[in-house]
Structure 1
């Protein structure tokens, strides 16, 4: 894990209109857990390059995992692209994915190569991003509230009903938040913190980027999300101030995987090859995304946060990427923090 951290430092939308038709008439089915704009850009780029018609459906990471589990005996999906890597690792441990070594794997940065090894070759890292939060500067000034700089600032009564964050049962971003807090504070103290934070949460969203989008629109004062999602909103003109929490923070490795049992195995492999290539990773910046790409030959988006200057936890993907740990922590969240009926 320390090597991974050191190296790291160095909802449905369907787009099918205007798609190219593959010569054999088959369609590649992809579940996308990245931002909607990136899903659409990736689909267009792949179809233009290959002439293969793709069906790209956007879902939150937890929803993708649930669907692949339900369909394990008769999968309808060929590729899972995007979303937090610990959930891909869970799927790999449940034998839901197929191993594939892309020729581009050798071009990837060390943190992505380490992730590939952890997955048993069943998931490849495509981008990285740090967790944080962002607040709406205009709302903060209007209401005369203090500017938060730390995780523990967010449980202040000053922010009662003014925060949005994801629901970890659905959003991979939110599960990363939960796992980050456990690693920062220890499990029991983390759950005490989340119970205090719950009093200030106006809404738990299914999509991980939704909280900072709401803050950008002025519908929430503070949104907890990955910082690159906040950068995208700020670059579009939103009055956001982006915060790397003072105590430290966690991070994600977004991944791509081939679903076990796919009937389009060769085309799925070609999609993975494109996703790991500099051209495929450039679709992120073209869609206004600011994650750090995994291919060393890919250009770094101009708005990508400088991960090397942030205080990062030594995120334990091996532990938090297991189904048992995910299920146990989610049950505790549902029981102690925010019951599903709320």
Structure 2
């Protein structure tokens, strides 16, 4: 009888200790604004190498910024990884993210460090990629349409209903496209262009990469996206051609930020330093991610579009990442483009 009592007591004590261990386990709440395959690969690898449980939610850049802002008084997010730099810069300007100088900074390429310096180290560059589009070769050929090589070609009446692009309110990719056109053409001219292009747009998606995935499946002819997202579809075997616009184009600096007053700051810093390491950034090609990594020693996938071969504009990240400019452009887009969207 006494033996049974002791055995029961031992089991109970073990259960309590196990419960305490679970309760005391380190945690990290992560927003990931890249493709979900990349997010899951990073989380799985990080958890295998650290005694930290990661709770990850995948949101586009605009949605991530909105979530971080909504939680400002009581943050539930610790760190935000990936997505275009503009909303990260806006979050920094709004005091939503904290300054952190990683010991990995010295290993990063100049554009990644410049991103950090411009935001008082409240964000940092983790990858880069140029804006363009992917088109379905079979869809366009079947309709006798010449693939567009320039922004101006997207106004071709033959492309009616054949273009998809994301909504810039939810998508950092689409906001980069909007800011790129404004810098290329001037603001009034850019909005005139967008209103004309609207005649050819079948859908404004929530996610930035969704348009080229639709093009890959033959649901639309063209998706305006970052070129590496189009390359990903081509590598998968879909009949997708990749275009860098002839007039010039903008580019993203995918970024990372720790949330101000995060509950798990040390765990966030652990992720931050880890994900800037060259071996970790070299992993991304396994998820068919073809951006340019920010660590100078990371392996660049051979399929990644070379920025040296693309006509890049001198994209003004500071101006177009500011709260004032971003808000003004999005409000104008809603009034003049979103209001007439098909």
Q: Could you tell me the TM-score, scaled by structure 1's length?
A: 0.92
Aligned match of 2:228: 228
Given that 1:45 and 1:283 are in contact with CA atoms closer than 8 Å, whether structure 2 keeps it comes out as no
Aligned match of 2:258: 258
Aligned match of 1:291: 291
- CA shift for structure 1 position 246: 0.5
SS of equivalent to 1:103: coil
The correspondence of residues 268-283 of structure 1 with structure 2, limited to 5 A, is 268-283=268-283
The structure with more radius of gyration: 2
Aligned match of 1:216: 216
The correspondence of residues 1-342 of structure 1 with structure 2, limited to 5 A, is 24-339=24-339
Per the alignment, do residues 64 and 230 of structure 1 end up closer, same or farther by CA in structure 2, a change over 3 Å counting?
same
Distance (Å, rounded) in 2 between the aligned partners of 1:317 and 1:208: 18
- CA shift for structure 1 position 284: 1.4
Distance (Å, rounded) in 2 between the aligned partners of 1:341 and 1:53: 42
Number of aligned residue pairs: give it: 322
- CA shift for structure 1 position 267: 0.6
Distance (Å, rounded) in 2 between the aligned partners of 1:22 and 1:64: 28
Deviations 1:209-261 (A, max 9, x none): 00111101101100000000010110000101100000000000001110001
Q: Could you tell me the TM-score, scaled by structure 2's length?
A: 0.92
Q: Relative to total residues, which structure has the larger helix share, 1 or 2?
A: 2
Given that 2:27 and 2:267 are in contact with CA atoms closer than 8 Å, whether structure 1 keeps it comes out as no
CA-atom RMSD in angstroms: 1.3
Distance (Å, rounded) in 2 between the aligned partners of 1:96 and 1:267: 18
Distance (Å, rounded) in 1 between the aligned partners of 2:22 and 2:217: 40
When structure 1 is superposed on structure 2, of 291-300 and 142-151 the one drifting more is 142-151
Aligned match of 2:15: none
